[in-house]
Structure 1
Amino acid sequence: MQPVSFFSDQERCEEFVKAVRRWGSMYPTPYAVAHSAADRQLADFPRFGRDDETCERHGTDTVYELFWLNIFGPKLVESIGRERMLSTPAHLVEELPNGSILLVLRPSAADFASEEARVAQARAHVHLRPDLDFDTVLRTLKDRSAALAPVEPRFHPDVAPFLFRLPDEFSISERQRKIAELNAFRPLAPEEWLPAALPSDVENPERIVESYGDLSEGLVAALHTKVPSLMEETAESLTDLDFYFWRENFPERYTRELIDEHTAPALGAYLGGVLVRRLGGRWVPRKKLEESQVRVGKRVWLPFLRARRYMQSRQALLDYSLTQFFREAERHRG
């Protein structure tokens, strides 16, 4: 698979068409296309809105969509009408030796989403399917072009390192829409902090802080093969964790018991440890885990409380990201 821009050169497109012509002549096929993968997804190729059983039973029994390059097998050609198909308004319409027809809409595949290309696509489609309405077909094609129009990422700076990783996790046809959604996303201002520390209420603070280290090491041991940067305890490690938990849909994939009793406490300890190591913070342990604090500058931060809120849902991973929490603490360090 090549990016569509690969086909911006018309000579390259011509060579590709020649290769397809040879292939289509040697190996008869009922139906084949070459087109933008993203646009094919939006067209629901090859189902075209049908369920699997219908697709299996009927195959491609009509021209549901028309793409940049199309090979129609003899059965489909006869169904539409050979003369009608050969008279399609297109850049190239050619009958192959085995009775198939090769149809290429335009000289180049790269500008498939342009106004001119969409008009040509709609006109040719309606020619093959007189039962379709030209304006309706064209409007659908233009909507697809709008959905694929490039959107420049303008993510909130506090979560940008995390958000930049998300679009590639969606199908190629959804990515621009997702970028637009993420551009509009504004994380909640962190509330897991206090202007003054609650005094430690434990008998042996050093031992409790050691237990936080044990919790943190447990998280590293469990996830270091999937998130190797955990060993480094950096801001980037937190972003890697954000992405890992989001990609795995961790809060909704695993049991609430596992998360509340094991993952969230270990994550809170790790988050607090990063504040200590990278921002010069100091633990202020408390009997109640969610009240345990890390003093950084003039504020004290509540990493265990943040971790619990963070692990409530997949959306919470965005709303309460570790990346943003660290950035906010870093901003108030001095």
Structure 2
Amino acid sequence: MRHLNPWESKSADHLVLSFEGTFDSAAPVEDELGPFFESLEEYAGEWMPDVVSGKRVRRYSRDSVWKALRERRVERVTFLGLCRTQEPALDMSLSLSLPPLSPELSALIHIDSLPLFAGRAPCERLMEMFRAWALRYPPSHAFAHSSADNQLSGSPSFGRDDETVWRDGFDKVYELSWLNVFGSRLVETVGRERVLTTPAHLVEELPNGSVLLVLRPTPADFASEESRVAQARAHVHLRPELDFDTVLRTLRERSAALALVEPRFHPDLAPLLSRLPYEFAQSERQQKIAELNAFQPPEPEEWLPSALPSDVENPERVLSDYDDLSEGLVAVLHTKVPSIFEETPESLTDLDFYFWKESFPTRYLRDLIDSHTAPALGAYLGRTLVRRLGGTWVPRQKLEESQVRVGKRVWLPFLRARRYMQSCEALLDYSLTQFFREAERHRD
């Protein structure tokens, strides 16, 4: 059963929800977790999961949930995943800590995308769901916020080492999200009266001592000036030792870092560069787009105005060797780069992306790259010039002098491939995609 993956989405942001509460581990799991899923089913609306993932993937139902929790149970924990087959994409995990650990229920949810929560109705349903969960499973801390902004905030460590985070948790108000649930212990630490007088859209004291605090009606405009001022004002109210101007300046810097940047990539490399930002955390993507907008690769120099004459005794045998090299590359990479069979500009871009994503020049032995990968790439690149641009091989004894004649120029694919494989930076400076496009321009 195929489901959507929000991490493959090109949305600028997600809504991330985190809930950490307690439960009765001695009670039957169906009885104890039934209210959790009742609230989910009642309030999720557009983003309700329809797939449950345990050791098997099943359509969502309560029975599927119980089966998944039994399948995934190990000595001290059990967990499951929930997702969707239709937009919006969803990545939801639920884990239970079991005795001898403290019985804790943890839910982490990513919903694609944030604009889904620009209207009040889905936001109010979300508040109702958190309220119901907080009443049934007394939380230590819970929140809902922009995923990208949450990353920039330093959550969940906030500059602390892992041991301190594990020991202290969210023991003070390190950060304010759009929606917050403060457990009774945190409320007492901050001061109940102080928490209840926080300037915010909603401040509600729950019967178990927790407090639901919502900064604004919706989270979609979290980066606006009005929202940042409200966030800073509420944060400084809860942490009076903080300086308002300093907090607001930091929030404004985060907004600037997340401001959308229009892609203006080098035209030859746009098919490649447009894929790279989505390999970074959402909080880094706009900065990466700006960096790639400024990237100007050097013009290809691996060409000659006229061909060196072939100096091999048996050109047919040498060309057969080139074919063997190219086909060897296809055999090794066809499952990871399926388009490699096609020998097209698009397959070259897919190869560029694969080698960049894998950090290939730094992950594999240099001797292996120089003796096998680079020659195979050169042969494949040359064959693509021959097949797609009507090129003609001019083989040479020295591999890097071997040429493909296209129009009035001859191109040196083996030399290009060697330079390409020198470093991760070289994968962009000497991309296969740009080399092909340059040769294509000079075909006539």
Which TM class, normalised by the smaller chain length? over 0.9
Provide the rounded CA distance (Å) in 1 between the counterparts of 2:130 and 2:181.
9
Deviations 1:98-144 (A, max 9, x none): 11111000111110000000000000000000000000000000000
2:281 maps to: 171
Provide the rounded CA distance (Å) in 2 between the counterparts of 1:330 and 1:23.
61
Instruction: Quote the sequence identity (%).
Output: 75
Query: Where do residues 76-87 of structure 1 align in structure 2 (5 Å cutoff)?
Result: 76-87=186-197
* 1:255 maps onto 2:358 in alignment: no
Provide the rounded CA distance (Å) in 2 between the counterparts of 1:273 and 1:254.
25
Deviation at 1:11, TM superposition (A): 2.0
Structure 2, gaps ≥5 residues long: 1-109
Provide the rounded CA distance (Å) in 2 between the counterparts of 1:294 and 1:326.
12
1:106 maps to: 216
Q: Which amino acid aligns with 2:334?
A: H
Deviations 1:130-162 (A, max 9, x none): 000000000000000001001111111010011
Q: 1:125 aligns with which of 232, 235, 241?
A: 235
* 1:268 maps onto 2:378 in alignment: yes
By percentage of residues, which structure has more strand? 2
Provide the rounded CA distance (Å) in 1 between the counterparts of 2:338 and 2:220.
39
* 1:199 maps onto 2:328 in alignment: no
Deviations 1:20-47 (A, max 9, x none): 1111111111011100000000001111
Q: 2:404 aligns with which of 290, 294, 307?
A: 294
Q: Which amino acid aligns with 1:261?
A: S
Provide the rounded CA distance (Å) in 1 between the counterparts of 2:122 and 2:343.
49
* 1:224 maps onto 2:337 in alignment: no
Structure 1, gaps ≥5 residues long: none
Provide the rounded CA distance (Å) in 2 between the counterparts of 1:312 and 1:32.
47
Provide the rounded CA distance (Å) in 1 between the counterparts of 2:339 and 2:440.
20
Q: Which amino acid aligns with 1:116?
A: E
2:26 maps to: none
Provide the rounded CA distance (Å) in 2 between the counterparts of 1:176 and 1:229.
29
Provide the rounded CA distance (Å) in 2 between the counterparts of 1:159 and 1:59.
45
Q: Which amino acid aligns with 1:164?
A: S
Q: Which amino acid aligns with 2:321?
A: S
* 1:14 maps onto 2:128 in alignment: no
Deviations 1:285-309 (A, max 9, x none): 1111000000000000000000000
Provide the rounded CA distance (Å) in 1 between the counterparts of 2:340 and 2:374.
16
Provide the rounded CA distance (Å) in 2 between the counterparts of 1:37 and 1:51.
21
Provide the rounded CA distance (Å) in 2 between the counterparts of 1:157 and 1:283.
28
Provide the rounded CA distance (Å) in 2 between the counterparts of 1:282 and 1:209.
11
Provide the rounded CA distance (Å) in 2 between the counterparts of 1:60 and 1:127.
17
Q: 1:25 aligns with which of 119, 126, 135?
A: 135
Provide the rounded CA distance (Å) in 1 between the counterparts of 2:210 and 2:179.
13
What secondary structure sits across from 1:158 in the alignment? coil
Deviation at 1:15, TM superposition (A): 1.5
Q: 1:190 aligns with which of 295, 300, 309?
A: 300
Provide the rounded CA distance (Å) in 2 between the counterparts of 1:249 and 1:114.
37
By percentage of residues, which structure has more helix? 1
Query: Where do residues 276-315 of structure 1 align in structure 2 (5 Å cutoff)?
Result: 276-315=386-425
Deviation at 1:54, TM superposition (A): 1.0
What secondary structure sits across from 2:410 in the alignment? strand
Deviation at 1:266, TM superposition (A): 0.3
* 1:91 maps onto 2:195 in alignment: no
2:157 maps to: 47
What secondary structure sits across from 1:127 in the alignment? helix
Provide the rounded CA distance (Å) in 2 between the counterparts of 1:4 and 1:161.
26
* 1:62 maps onto 2:169 in alignment: no
Q: 1:318 aligns with which of 400, 412, 428?
A: 428
Q: Which amino acid aligns with 1:247?
A: K
TM-score (norm 1): 0.99
Provide the rounded CA distance (Å) in 2 between the counterparts of 1:51 and 1:38.
21
Deviation at 1:19, TM superposition (A): 1.4
1:331 maps to: 441
Q: Which amino acid aligns with 1:74?
A: S
CA RMSD of aligned residues (A): 0.6
Runs of 4+ in structure 1 deviating by more than 6 angstroms, as ranges, are none
Q: 2:225 aligns with which of 101, 106, 115?
A: 115
